[in-house]
Amino acid sequence: MSKAKVGVINVTGYAGVELTRLLYQHPGVELASVTGRSAAGKRLGEVFPHLASIELTIEAEPGEVDLAFSAMPHKESAGQVMPLLDHGVKVVDISADFRLKDATEYQQWYGFTHPAPQLLKQAVYGLTELYRSQVASARLVANPGCYPTGAILALAPAVKAGLIEPEIIIDSKSGISGAGRTLNLQTHFAEANEDATAYALDGHRHLPEIVQELERLSPKQALSITFVPYLIPMTRGILTTGYASLASGKVPVDKKGRRELFQLYQDFFKDEPFVKVVEFPPHTKHTWGNNLCLIHPTIDIRTGRLVVISAIDNLVKGAAGQAIQNMNLMLGLPEVTGLEAVAVYP
């Protein structure tokens, strides 16, 4: 049986180049096309020497493919996606352009009027752990943001079970690759090295995505979420910590409650190939280069508060790996295909 042909739109960003690396070694598809207007006409290895073994020329426009990944920036991605869908091509969009269901939120959070609000209802939010069956039958999948992936997976079991009060605090510490490949002063080595800083205190663009998906798990309860992201001087990884007061009477606030909470999380994710509930606080390095999300839930017995920590690689489970996980389902391939690499250490 012939392999499905897939393509990457905008190979020159970090998510696009990571997709290309993973797809090249994927046994179930053929990487047939990569685009990047700033590098069109060049061999892939000229732009990215570590990919020199991939015999592809970067194109200005997508070639003939069965499924495309759009790694374009927000605002720009929707314009690339719409004609592909019109031609029957399945799409996994890595930008934010189809993640939010309320079109009016794009003006508030991203500063543009959505050009295809009718597609927001069709797009499936591509967190496979929550929407596996919908992803499998989708034409358009909105790949989750990196921060929301770590935050939603960390809090989903507790929110769905009604274990916590609606006021939730999330802090997430990200490596610099999460800011993208475009040059800017904040991510200049001399500015970012030996430094850590919080940003977007008035509201990060990923906040409405987090709220949308957690409230879907608890539709009778409006959540009040504070989300503070941090930039820290490493290349890859996101470490997220979620805090919330435990709802009265739901779980004992003692060591027995900790065991019950741990079991709840294990049961919630028991069949998930890429989520592991662990008995120790995870390190970002434990997920470096692979598609895992490691989660450690516990109870602060002194305050009666849930504390849950997750770790992901922002370029794999937070972007390219999750996108391929979605692609596998959309093409009827085993979900883990091409994604079973272990973490790089040290």
Residue 293 designated active-site: no
Task: Determine contact, residues 297/308, Cβ cutoff 8 Å.
Answer: yes
What one-character-per-residue DSSP string does 185-206 give? GGGSHHHHTT--EE--TT--TT
Task: Write the CB contacts of 311 (distance below 8 Å, at least 6 apart in sequence).
Answer: 150, 237, 238, 239, 240, 282, 283, 284, 286, 287, 293, 294
Q: Which residue reads 């939730």 in tokens?
A: 168
Sign of CA dihedral 323, 103, 241, 73: positive
Number of other residues whose CB lies within 10 A of the CB of residue 318: 29
From 68, 146, 154, 244, active-site residue:
146
The answer to whether the Cα torsion of 28, 33, 38, 41 is positive or negative is positive
Residue 119 tokens, joined? 């597609």
Catalytic residue annotation: 146
